[in-house]
Structure formats: structure tokens, C-alpha cells
Amino acid sequence: MKKKIALILVLTLTVFAFTACGGNADTDKGNADTETTVLKIGASTVPHAEILEFVKPILAEEGIDLQITEYTDYVIPNTAVESHELDANYFQHVPYLDSFNEENGTHLVSAVAVHYEPLGIYAGKTAGIDALKDGATIAVPNDPTNEARALLLLEQEGIIKLKDGVGLAATPKDIVENPLNIKIYEAEAAAVARSTKDVDLAVINGNYALEAGFVAKDALALESSESEGAQTFANIVAVYEGDESRPEIQALIKALTSEEVRGFIEETYQGSVVPVF
């Protein structure tokens, strides 16, 4: 009798163990079927990371886990893509990317252009362009690219006149007509928005204007969508050369250039950020 009981126990344990192993195999298979692809991207906080947060659930439906890291500088996001710590970044335009590649020997390319952020002229101590007085001070970004755009915007509004043909190479030295003897105050792009209480007017980048609480309707003037700056400085998603064909990058491109994203950008930023697709 004892032998029969022992045999039954052994058989029972064997069946249980086999069934348990079979259950794990099914679970593992299920996990494999639902496995997600991680896509790591670096971005400036506004508006880039906000736009990426909007597309995150869209990509999740395709099995892509978009992991967003926010940066406040323009160097680390590029070096992180070069070293493959990030799969992509979203914060810059092609001229900056080309310059970065040339200076650092990196191998980054544009995967897609998404939007541009028009520079705007915002009131400081003076309420409007027509109210400017002789000797007024206007703050502009001090980096070469954005300073040229700012000067072109001031020319667009008739405040100054630049040397013919200088275009996006313009500096204050290229001002040939300055009827109000405007003083140009140069500051780091991120700091220009904070200078409005100290200057008469300020020319502010779109992203920094948003961070400071300004919107396009607050601007006294905006960079025209037909301007050289707007046509040249669309913000892009950058990847390591060759990675633009990866399926998950293609899915990101499709999501970022969708009608859903166009609607989100137009409704959220009210002209401070403009889709280019």
C-alpha cells in the first residue's frame, strides 16, 4: 500500500512539473510577441520634447517605446547620437548640424524637417516699433546664426538697413542705415527673453519666447515664413548616418509629419511654432 501511495505522489509531482514548464513556455512566447523596441531621443524642452510626448502614444501602438531625454545645451545631444547612447535628437537645424559635423568630425544627418520657430520682436521698455526713440536699445541673440536672423527681421520692419546681399552672414557691422541710432545689445539666445525689462525691444527665438511665457500674438513682428531664415532653419530630427532607414526611425518620421501633429502644433503654439511638412 505504501508503495502505491509513493508511486502516486511521484506521478502527481511529475505531471505538475511538466505542466508548470509548459505554462512558462507559453508566457515567454507571449512576451516575445509583445516585445517593444526602445527608441531613445534627446530634445530641447520646448517645443521639441512636448511634440515628442504627443507622438509617444502613437508610436506605442506600433510597439515602439519612445524614451525622451531633455537637454538644455546643444552639444551633448549630438555627441550622444554619435556614440549611439541616443538613437536620434530633435533640437537643431541643418546649418548648425553641418557646422557641428565639420568642427567635431561627427557623422550625423537630418532624417526629417518638422518645424521652424520664427524669431519675434517683443516689447520691452518701449511698447511698439513706432514708439522707438533715438538711441533706443534692442537685444538680439549673440550666436552668428540667430543674430543674422534677428538683424534681417529688424531690416524687415524698417528699423535698420543692412549691406546688400549679406543675408545670413549679417553682423551689426553690416548695418549701413540706422536712422534712430539703435544700439544693438548682444546676449546669449536663452538670456534675451530675460532682458526685456532692461531694453526697449528684444528679438527672441521662438522656443525661448515660449519658455518665457510669450506667444506669437504678443510679438510686435514675426519672421516671415518666406524669409531666408525660416526657409533655412527648420528644426530637424538628426540621426547617425545610415540610421535614417531603420524601421523605428521611419515610424518616428511618419508620426512627426502626421496631420495629428500638425494640428497639435498649430493649436498648442498659435504661430510660435510652425509646421514645415
Supply 182's cell numbers.
Answer: 539703435
Residue 272 sits at φ, ψ, to 5 deg, of -75, -20
| The pLDDT of residue 34 | 59
Task: Report the pLDDT averaged over residues 121-128.
Answer: 98
- Sequence letter at residue 245: S
Average pLDDT of the chain, as a whole number: 89
> What residue ranges define each of the domains in the chain, with the CATH number in brackets?
37-117+232-275 (3.40.190.10), 120-223 (3.40.190.10)
Angstrom distance (rounded) from CA 191 to CA 273: 19
What predicted TM-score, i.e. pTM, was given to this entire model?
0.74
CA distances from 184 to 135, 138, 172, 173, 202 (A): 10, 5, 7, 10, 10
- pLDDT level of residue 91 (50, 70, 90 thresholds): very high
Helices 50-60 and 259-269, axial angle in degrees (round to 10)? 150
Whether the pLDDT of residue 33 is over 60: the answer is no
Task: Report the pLDDT averaged over residues 77-96.
Answer: 96
**C-beta neighbour count of 134 within 10 angstroms:** 8
Task: Report the pLDDT averaged over residues 101-123.
Answer: 96
The neighbouring-strand residues paired with 138 are: 184, 201
Q: Residue 233 gets which letter from DSSP?
A: -
- pLDDT level of residue 84 (50, 70, 90 thresholds): very high
Strands lying side by side in the sheet with 274-275: 64-71, 37-44, 88-93, 235-240, 108-116, 274-275
The neighbouring-strand residues paired with 202 are: 122, 139
Task: Report the pLDDT averaged over residues 100-118.
Answer: 96
